[in-house]
Amino acid sequence: MQFSELAAVFEKLEGTASRLEMTAILAALFTKMDRGEAERIVYLCQGSIAPAYEGIDLGVGEKFVIEAIALSSGQTRPNVEREYKRMGDLGLVAEKLLQKKAQMSLCTSELTVAKVFESFLRLAKLSGHGSQEGKIKSVAELLNNASVLEAKYIVRFTLGKLRLGVGDPTILDALSTYKAGDKSLRVKIERAYNLCSDLGYVARMFFEGGEVAVEKFKPAPLKPIRPALAERLPTAEEIYEKIAKNSEQKEVTVEAKYDGLRMQVHKTGKQVEIFSRKLERMTKMFPEIVQAALEINAKEFILEGEALAYSVKEKRYFSFQQTIQRKRKYGVEAMSKEFPLRLFAFDVLYLDGKDYTQIEYAKRRETLEQLVKKNKTIVASDQIIATNAAQVEKYFQKCIAEGLEGIIAKDMAAPYVAGARKFAWIKLKKSYGAMVDTVDVVICGYYLGKGAREEFKFGGLLGAVLNEDTGNFETIARIGGGFTEEEMVNFEEMLEKIKTKEKPKKLLSDVVPDFWTELKYVITVASDEITLSPMHTCGRVGDTGYALRFPRMVSLRDDKGPEDATTTNEIIEMYEMQRKGK
């Protein structure tokens, strides 16, 4: 496919906010693809050249792109910089400045999707001494061969700022629509995606082997599985009733809810990889977990657990603050001695060629216990089997008394529901007043300080939740409190880097903050209650949406991305629970 065709599709996608329309545009694009192009085109639509868990960054900063535009357009660097200041988007700058040159030279584009993709791959691989020169040259070369429209998207892509507003759910819908004419295949394709977190790879399998290929899909070591998530209910009683009805013996498994670092540990032969909740590779940070995984007697496995820093000598857990100190790139060895981790394994998803995600939890647990029996670092999570609600409540109180976060009750008959929040797992946390839980919001804008805070430029945040049905983000709170002075300084620095001139395309907001930001960071917010409000767009029907009353920042959640924020549906459920509790 010519790259110009893809650029034209990007332009169309950018011009619409309707998810239906985006789905139709993408489905039409898929019909034009050559065999073998699916993987690359899907990655490009995601604004990347590989699945997110590979963590590949083209590593080209604004400065280099400015240089490349100057080289290619024949303009001086200050000229390019001036235009950038004025337009605020280097993609638009490239489009404008290269227009002048195009008119002079009548050049036409010869770029194919394959060529552009290869160039991006080469860019990502360039590193070390002299690589900056190489990167500038590569981008300039691409721009020399590009039409103005192509240049706009090449520049934005290179900077990691494609911002088409297309999320993974839209791509999944489009793949289904392309083949079936509607969304009927979405569930099957999504299952495959949830089992490998690689949408390009799934698209390739789907294009090559059709429906059968995605149906037969099973997990494989080194490809992270999208994590199962827990629902909430307000009382031990409701939790017991909800799950026990699926069990002939009226039995419910109840586990301690550890508050540490969620890990998915993969092993194949002598290779171990550890993925975070956000599915980022963290292997190098946790040598003792790698060592423990190597000692487990199985050739291949994928297991999941929550890791806590644990003092073997004092026989006690360190605090969450101490545990998260282990998330670091440097000083790993010393830290692993000071705060050694213990992984509380709570699930096994794959073992020696067999997909365990389809198997009921009771059996998975048995296998897991066998697997970690002799290990001292990876141990099975604590659990009881409850046969009535009072036992659930008692165990909950015991966990809280031990300083844990609460409990997670599990349905013994349920499979592992990758990538979804289902009632197979239900959590109950220690009380947050009227609220059953804290809320994780995406920062979408910020305010400048007033009054006493004037010495800091930072004065508060605008937070949004994710509407899973539309893929949009909806505002729910202006968070003005709960920040330490250090956090305020950090936010000022962090947010300055991602502020944008315009409201993000996927954000619905009537509130206008002093600055908009890219949707990147997630924070945990506590509040007194959820109220109905005309201000915010969360779950809005008519003039009324949902808002948080007296919201205050608890912590930055860097193990979550925007797609992992609390959803609008969860807010509505929490509101209903709160109403019933009153």
Q: Give whichever of 151 and 380 is closer to ligand ATP, judged by the CB atom.
A: 380
Dihedral sign for Cα atoms in the order 133, 134, 135, 138 = positive
Beta strands in 192-287 (DSSP E): 229-232, 252-257, 261-268, 271-275
Among 168, 255, 518, 563, binds ligand ATP (CB under 6 A): 255
Site string for ligand ATP, 288-307 (x = CB under 6 A): ------------------x-
Contacts of 171 (CB under 8 A, 6+ apart): 26, 42, 45, 46, 199, 203
Q: Shortest distance, CB of residue 51 to ligand ATP, whole angstroms?
A: 20
Q: Give whichever of 4 and 357 is closer to ligand ATP, judged by the CB atom.
A: 357
What is the DSSP secondary structure assignment for residue 88, as one 8-state letter? S
Q: Shortest distance, CB of residue 304 to ligand ATP, whole angstroms?
A: 8
Instruction: Report whether 200 contacts 171 (CB < 8 A).
Output: no
Task: Tell whether residue 64 is a contact of ligand ATP (CB under 6 A).
Answer: no
Contacts of 266 (CB under 8 A, 6+ apart): 221, 222, 224, 272, 273, 274, 275, 301, 302
Number of residues that bind ligand ATP (CB under 6 A): 13
Q: Shortest distance, CB of residue 94 to ligand ATP, whole angstroms?
A: 40
C-alpha distances (whole Å) from 309 to each of 204, 274, 337, 343, 377 are 41, 16, 10, 9, 11
Site string for ligand ATP, 310-349 (x = CB under 6 A): ------------------------------------x---
Distance CA 167, CA 190 (A): 13
Among 121, 149, 229, 298, binds ligand ATP (CB under 6 A): 229
Task: Tell whether residue 67 is a contact of ligand ATP (CB under 6 A).
Answer: no
The strand pairing partners of 406, in sequence order, are 257, 429
β pairing state of 229-232 and 252-257: unpaired
Q: Give whichever of 188 and 278 is closer to ligand ATP, judged by the CB atom.
A: 278
Task: Tell whether residue 408 is a contact of ligand ATP (CB under 6 A).
Answer: yes
Catalytically active residues are 257
Task: Tell whether residue 257 is a contact of ligand ATP (CB under 6 A).
Answer: yes
Site string for ligand ATP, 72-101 (x = CB under 6 A): ------------------------------
Task: Tell whether residue 503 is a contact of ligand ATP (CB under 6 A).
Answer: no
The strand pairing partners of 499, in sequence order, are 517
Candidate segments 182-190, 253-261, 463-471, 533-541, binder of ligand ATP by CB under 6 A: 253-261
Task: Tell whether residue 277 is a contact of ligand ATP (CB under 6 A).
Answer: yes
What is the DSSP secondary structure assignment for residue 59, as one 8-state letter? -
Residue 473's φ and ψ, nearest 5 degrees, are -105, 140
Q: Shortest distance, CB of residue 147 to ligand ATP, whole angstroms?
A: 44
Q: Give whichever of 145 and 381 is closer to ligand ATP, judged by the CB atom.
A: 381
Q: Give whichever of 154 and 408 is closer to ligand ATP, judged by the CB atom.
A: 408
Q: Give whichever of 475 and 567 is closer to ligand ATP, judged by the CB atom.
A: 567
Distance CA 273, CA 284 (A): 9
Among 40, 278, 427, 540, binds ligand ATP (CB under 6 A): 427
Distance CA 301, CA 299 (A): 7
Q: Shortest distance, CB of residue 306 to ligand ATP, whole angstroms?
A: 4
Q: Where in 128-187 is the site for ligand ATP (CB under 6 A)?
A: none
Among 72, 336, 381, 509, binds ligand ATP (CB under 6 A): 381
Q: Give whichever of 164 and 523 is closer to ligand ATP, judged by the CB atom.
A: 523
Beta strands in 293-430 (DSSP E): 300-311, 316-317, 341-351, 354-355, 378-380, 383-386, 406-410, 421-429
Dihedral sign for Cα atoms in the order 324, 328, 331, 333 = positive
The encoded tokens of residue 260 equal: 């540490």
Closest C-alpha to 282, from 299, 297, 260: 260
Task: Tell whether residue 361 is a contact of ligand ATP (CB under 6 A).
Answer: no
Instruction: Report whether 225 contacts 197 (CB < 8 A).
Output: yes
Among 258, 301, 350, 458, binds ligand ATP (CB under 6 A): 258
Q: Give whichever of 262 and 505 is closer to ligand ATP, judged by the CB atom.
A: 262
- Contacting positions for ligand ATP (CB under 6 A): 229-230, 255-258, 262, 277, 306, 346, 381, 408, 427
